[in-house]
Amino acid sequence: MLSIKNLHAGISEKEILKGFSLEVKKGEVHAIMGPNGSGKSTLANVLAGREDYEVTEGKVIFTPPFGGRGGLNLLAMSPEDRAREGLFLAFQYPVEIPGVSNINFLKTALNEIRAYKKMPPIDAKDFLKLIKEKQALVELQGTLANRSVNEGFSGGEKKRNEIFQMAVLEPALCILDETDSGLDIDALRIVANGVNKLRSKERAFVVITHYQRLLDYIIPDFVHVMYDGRIVKSGPKELALELEKKGYDWVKEKLAVGS
Amino acid sequence: MIASIENKKTIPIQLEGEFQTLLSTTFSSEPEWLKEKRKEAFEKFSDAGIPTRKNEEYKYTDVRKVFSGKFTAIHNEAHKIKFPSPMGEGLWVRLIFINGWLYKDSTLSAKLPKGVIIGNLATDGLLNHSDLLKKYLSSDGDSLAQLNSALWTDGAFVYIPENIQLETPIEIIHISTGEKEILASPRHLIIAENNSFVNIIENNISLDLNSRGIVNSHADIFVGENSKAQYYRLQNDCKNVSLISSTNVVQEKNSHFDTITITLGSEWIRNNLSIALNGESCETHLNGLFITNGTDHIDNHTSIHHNKPNCQSNQLYKGILDGKSTGVFNGKIFVERDAQKTNAYQSSKNILLSDDSAINTKPQLEIYADDVKCSHGSTTGQLNEEALFYLRSRGLSVDSARNLLLYAFANDVLSTIKIESLKNYLEELVNSRLSPTLSKG
């Protein structure tokens, strides 16, 4: 579904991604772990289409599972088109948007995605049903759903809101950018639970995380270690545990030694 | 034509003559005291002249340009006109004025509580309650307000006696017609005696998109002890009708006054809003929203006088400016020595959507008491980039995202409207103004 080849990108003249490559097939859950400064957030933002970042080299091909579309040149697409084709980024620091109702914005988003796919807008009653159903998935109270986007939400509530939106919009490729940061164990469990309920054969996840803990709940198929702007080691889920035991320095040492 | 010589105070040439004509025709049957008042006002106007840019209060607003055309104060309309139905069809009382004259088919509901007077100033007021006019018709204001005091033809006269709560909204509609350029001078007097409640909507519209002219409007509002008054002003007139609106409010002890000004039309508007808090523990809220484009110019000047202790005033003015439009916000707060424990807040927030739009905002605080809480804040900028990106990352187009954010910005003010049908009407209007195609879903 996602093919990243030799991606080089940076911001303000500084190169952060230095030849990042990754292949993600539908149905798979890939975890990307790395120390601070390895470029994890840059990766997420470049994939979502944030204009501050400049891509200097590389290709990203996104092949949505449905619609008969071939591989799409993701880097040439606007942020909204990427979303409409089925890419979703759960932000690390979701912004607060006072005055814009959570429900209203989601309905608009859903309808724009449907319009893009030449489908009619969703019926008001069906939408309400959908909202109720998805709210339960992340235990998001009715009151929160009715408020302004993320306004006054706690850290945990903001992250749950991201997963709630993911559930409503039903994307094909979900990128979770340090979704576990700032969460206590209970919030973590609820968020992970929501994500797990969304796993399917047609959907793929890229879970970016600093700590192994999240991966106890969202069990990955592949773990990649990111360092200095690229993947330096890949392995099965056990790699995450090894990393936790030995720390990131272990990886740095291995690289230095060249083994 | 204005004979203008540098630094000399001038008034449009035809006005002196027209004023004399009016005194001997339209105003000839008025009581002497009123004619005297008019003469005094005209003199004050002549002495001060039409404000120039050298006048601090009009630094950013070119009034001369507005008065430089060929307009006339002599007109007498009795049009047969069809106009759009009110928002609260059947539930409201409507007073309709055309070019400052009463339209005889105004709906004056018969079922009003005893003692309530909703009528027009020139007949109901002047003939039957001249004592009230003598008492409450103010002579204050700058030269443009004086011009209205000299030339006013008619307007609303609303009197709510003590202890009466009139829930029914009163809509005062002023319609401009514009076959020739007219200077209309509507004048309104609203009196809410002690312990009363009144809510009023003043609506400036034109029927013909090609109407031209100047509307120089003035309202005096008295809010008695323990009374509550809500005053909504809708300014959605057509492009070429310039509007000057002077509103003079006096509040007595424990009273509550709310006003919301929504400006969506007209290419040139100057709003002067002055509040005198003459009793303890008053509360006053002044909110404004303006959405401008093209070469629109909107100038909101407010002035709140905290003359007694324990009063609270709150101002929130929000603007969305596009094209080459310009805005001005000047909020003055005066806190007299006696006015301890004053709380005065002022906020001016603006979004500039184009490189050529501009806003000048200036707070002015003169504080003579020492136990007060006053704050003022102003922000001017573009839309929040983070928020825009967030919305786009969920599939919204740039336009949809932009409009959603602009609507949220405007809604801060719209949500303070307490009349449900008016709020719904304005939400729709603002929505369609921000984007013709975006619907609220």
What pTM was computed for the model? 0.86
> Phi/psi of residue B371, each to 5°?
-115, 75
In the prediction, which pLDDT does B417 show?
94
Nearest CA in chain B to A49: B393
Amino acid type, A217 = Y
Q: How far is A213 from chain B (nearest CA, A)?
A: 27
Residue B105 has pLDDT above 70, yes or no: no
> Phi/psi of residue B236, each to 5°?
-130, 40
pLDDT in tens, B45-61: 999 989 988 888 998 88
Helix-, strand-, coil-residue percentages of chain B, each rounded to 5: 25, 40, 40
In chain A, what residues touch B392 (CB-CB under 8 Å)? 49, 78-80, 83
- Single out the residue of B383, B412, B394, B390 nearest to residue A95, CA to CA: B390
Please judge whether B405 and A100 are an interchain contact, meaning their C-beta atoms are less than 8 angstroms apart. Answer: yes
In the prediction, which pLDDT does A22 show?
94
Residue A169 has pLDDT above 90, yes or no: yes
Q: Which range (A212-216, B65-69, B149-153, B420-424) has the least confidence?
A: B65-69
Task: Spell out the residues 6+ positions from residue B241 whose beta carbon is closer than 8 angstroms to its own.
Answer: B176, B178, B204, B206, B211, B212, B213, B214, B215, B266
Please judge whether A99 and B411 are an interchain contact, meaning their C-beta atoms are less than 8 angstroms apart. Answer: yes
Please judge whether A48 and B393 are an interchain contact, meaning their C-beta atoms are less than 8 angstroms apart. Answer: yes
E strand or H helix that includes residue B37: helix B32-48
Report the CATH number that the domain containing residue A209 is assigned in CATH. 3.40.50.300
Q: Which residues pair with B251 in a beta bridge?
A: B223, B277
Please judge whether A80 and B393 are an interchain contact, meaning their C-beta atoms are less than 8 angstroms apart. Answer: yes
Residue B87 has pLDDT above 60, yes or no: no
Please judge whether B390 and A95 are an interchain contact, meaning their C-beta atoms are less than 8 angstroms apart. Answer: yes
Q: Is residue A61 part of a domain?
A: no
**How many domains would you assign to chain B?**
1
In the prediction, which pLDDT does B437 show?
46
Q: Which residues pair with B313 in a beta bridge?
A: B284, B344
In chain A, what residues touch B384 (CB-CB under 8 Å)? 95, 97
E strand or H helix that includes residue B9: none
Nearest CA in chain A to B413: A99
A113-145 core/surface letters (b: 16 or more CB in 10 A; e: else) = beeeeeeeebeeeebeebbeebbebbebeeebb
Query: What range defines the domain where residue A105 resides?
Result: 26-38+78-220+230-257
Provide ipTM, 2 decimals: 0.94
Q: Are strands A54-62 and A72-73 parallel, antiparallel or unpaired?
A: antiparallel
Average confidence (pLDDT) over B307-313: 96
Q: Which range (A178-192, B22-36, B88-102, B361-375) has the least confidence?
A: B88-102
Percent of chain B with pLDDT over 90: 63
pLDDT in tens, A76-91: 999 999 999 999 999 9
Of B384, B397, B407, nearest to A80 by CB-CB distance is: B397
Please judge whether B397 and A112 are an interchain contact, meaning their C-beta atoms are less than 8 angstroms apart. Answer: yes
In chain A, what residues touch B401 (CB-CB under 8 Å)? 80
In chain A, what residues touch B427 (CB-CB under 8 Å)? none
pLDDT in tens, A1-46: 899 999 999 998 899 999 999 999 999 999 999 888 888 989 999 9
Please judge whether A112 and B386 are an interchain contact, meaning their C-beta atoms are less than 8 angstroms apart. Answer: no
**How many domains would you assign to chain A?**
1
Query: What range defines the domain where residue B396 resides?
Result: 384-441
pLDDT band at B440 (very low <50, low <70, confident <90, very high): very low
Nearest CA in chain B to A79: B393
**CA B386 from centroid of its chain's CA atoms:** 36
- Single out the residue of B405, B403, B384, B439 nearest to residue A115, CA to CA: B439
Q: Is the dihedral of CA B39, B41, B42, B47 positive or negative?
A: positive
Please judge whether A104 and B440 are an interchain contact, meaning their C-beta atoms are less than 8 angstroms apart. Answer: yes
User: How many CB atoms lie under 10 A from the CB of residue B233?
Assistant: 23
How many contacts, defined by CB atoms under 8 Å, are there between A and B? 80
Amino acid type, B112 = L
Nearest CA in chain B to A110: B395
| 3-state SS assignment for residue B181 | coil
Residue B95 has which token pair? 């007073």
Please judge whether B391 and A104 are an interchain contact, meaning their C-beta atoms are less than 8 angstroms apart. Answer: no
Average confidence (pLDDT) over B218-237: 95
Residue A131 has pLDDT above 50, yes or no: yes
Of B387, B392, B407, nearest to A79 by CB-CB distance is: B392
| Summary mean pLDDT of chain B | 88
Q: Is residue B412 part of a domain?
A: yes
In the prediction, which pLDDT does B143 show?
92
Q: How many CA atoms lie within 13 A of B390 on its CB side?
A: 24
How far apart CA A91 and CA A239 sit, in angstroms, is 25
